[in-house]
Amino acid sequence: MNDERTDPMDERTIQLMRALDGDLDAAERAAFEARLADDPVMREEWQRLSRAREATMGMRLRHPPEEVWDGYWTSVYSRTERGLGWILVSLGVIVVGGWAVWTWIGELLADTGTPLIVRLGMIALFLGVVILAVSVVRHRINVLKTDPYKDIQR
Amino acid sequence: MSRLAARYVDASEASLVQRASHGDNTAFGELVRRNMQAAYYAALGLVGSPDDALDLSQDAFARALKHAAKLDPGRPFYPWYYAILRRLCFNFLRDRKNRQRLLDEQGAWLAYDLSGGGPPEDPESRLGREHARRIVARALSRLPEAQREVIVLREFEDLKYQEIADLLEIPVGTVMSRLYAARRALADALEEL
């Protein structure tokens, strides 16, 4: 995570924050106000932070249309089904496609009517695609083991 | 009581978590229904886009369902789910394309809370308020992720320091220092007004 550097909180800042969030009891509040009266720097900081707090206090996160909640769970469930669907479709394409290519290569080699150079070219093309695919998959696996950004969704 | 704090006191949750961890999708669906609003608003506060917040919160539930066997019936559901959600949201924000798009949309996710009623507002105050909303939204969108997360949980989800610390599994002092840094950045931005 992109964690920022934040300085350790001093006692004065803790007091400011607790006052902003209404977290001081009566005695602490009185001590805080006395300190504010004596410390112009702290008073200025208090005014700035109070303004920031007031700006957000009147706001809320915008509500979505009510219909969103009606189909929410159905949509979540559909996503899991779609995920399974894609895995099955991918598996099917690999198995059926692989079998089709294998059969086609076999027929091509057996076909004495096709010039030898074309048959060799086809075999080279097929082997090249296989080597490239294996290389890409191997590289992805290696990167996944070490890439700090592997969880980033593109 | 805040949307988030409400879930820590529900006694029937342990039973739902137990059932969900054994593959009961009905129980998991009930957990989704109980937590979907908190999840959506948490994502909205983090990414600042209603459509993306809906998408990410649902995606996080789908991932949670996939890993439901890892659920611990002895612990509340939401913090476990939230860890998945925040990772998805942060990854989403780190994508440069998304970040640029969100900067273009800034402000659409915030609204003024007018539930208190009051007299009708004159056009000038309304314009001033809209301007302030955009300034706040822009300042929030420029905060580091960790600061933005804490200020959203504090200001918009109304969580206490300790509740935020529990949810994020960080010390209270870290919560306060992130919140302090966020408020200072916000104060700087408001001086533009």
- List, as one string, the DSSP characters of B108-137: TTEEE--TT--SPPPHHHHHHHHHHHHHHH
User: Residue B81 and residue B84: Cα distance in Å, rounded?
Assistant: 5
Residue B156 contacts A where some CB pair is shorter than 8 Å = yes
Residue B91 contacts A where some CB pair is shorter than 8 Å = yes
Angle of CA points B127, B128, B131, to nearest 5°: 85
The span from the first CA to the last CA of chain B, in angstroms, equals 33
Type and span of the H or E element at B11: none
Q: Which CATH architecture has domain B120-193?
A: Orthogonal Bundle (1.10)
pLDDT at B77: 93
Whether residues A52 and A88 share a domain: the answer is no
Residue B105 contacts A where some CB pair is shorter than 8 Å = no
| Phi, psi dihedrals of residue B111, rounded to the nearest 5° | -140, 160
B71-85 average pLDDT score: 91
- C-beta atoms of B112 and A58 within 8 A: yes
pLDDT at A59: 83
Let me know: does B170 contact B79? Beta carbons within 8 Å: no
- Does residue A131 lie within any of the structural domains? yes
- Does residue A130 lie within any of the structural domains? yes
Residue B82 contacts A where some CB pair is shorter than 8 Å = no
pLDDT at B32: 95
On the question of pLDDT at B75 being above 80, the answer is yes
User: Residue B131 and residue B125: Cα distance in Å, rounded?
Assistant: 10
On the question of pLDDT at A141 being above 80, the answer is no
Q: What is the pLDDT of residues A51-82, one digit of tens each?
A: 888 888 878 888 999 999 998 999 998 888 88
Nearest CA-CA distance, residue A139 and chain B, Å: 22
Which residue is closest to A15 within chain B, CA to CA? B176
* Chain B residues within an 8 Å CB radius of A15: none
* Chain A residues within an 8 Å CB radius of B37: 69
Confidence (pTM): 0.74
* Chain B residues within an 8 Å CB radius of A58: 112-113
CATH number for the B1-109 domain, one of 1.10.1740.10, 3.90.1150.10, 2.60.40.10, 3.30.460.80?
1.10.1740.10
- C-beta atoms of A51 and B190 within 8 A: yes
pLDDT at A81: 81
Q: Give the range of the structural domain holding residue A119, as residue numbers without chain letter.
A: 81-146
- C-beta atoms of A73 and B87 within 8 A: no
The per-residue pLDDT of chain B, averaged, comes to 84
User: Which value does ipTM take for this structure?
Assistant: 0.76
A20-34 average pLDDT score: 92
Token pair, residue A55, equals 């700006």
Which residue is closest to A9 within chain B, CA to CA? B177
pLDDT at A123: 81
* Chain B residues within an 8 Å CB radius of A10: none
Let me know: does A55 contact B136? Beta carbons within 8 Å: yes
Whether residues A86 and A128 share a domain: the answer is yes
Tally of structural domains, chain A: 2
Q: What is the pLDDT of residues B7-51, one digit of tens each?
A: 554 668 888 999 999 999 999 999 999 999 999 999 999 988 899
Q: What is the pLDDT of residues A77-123, one digit of tens each?
A: 888 888 778 888 888 988 998 888 888 888 877 887 888 888 888 88
B146 closest CB neighbour out of A2, A68, A149: A2
- Does residue A22 lie within any of the structural domains? yes
Q: Give the residue with greater pLDDT, B175 vs A141.
A: B175
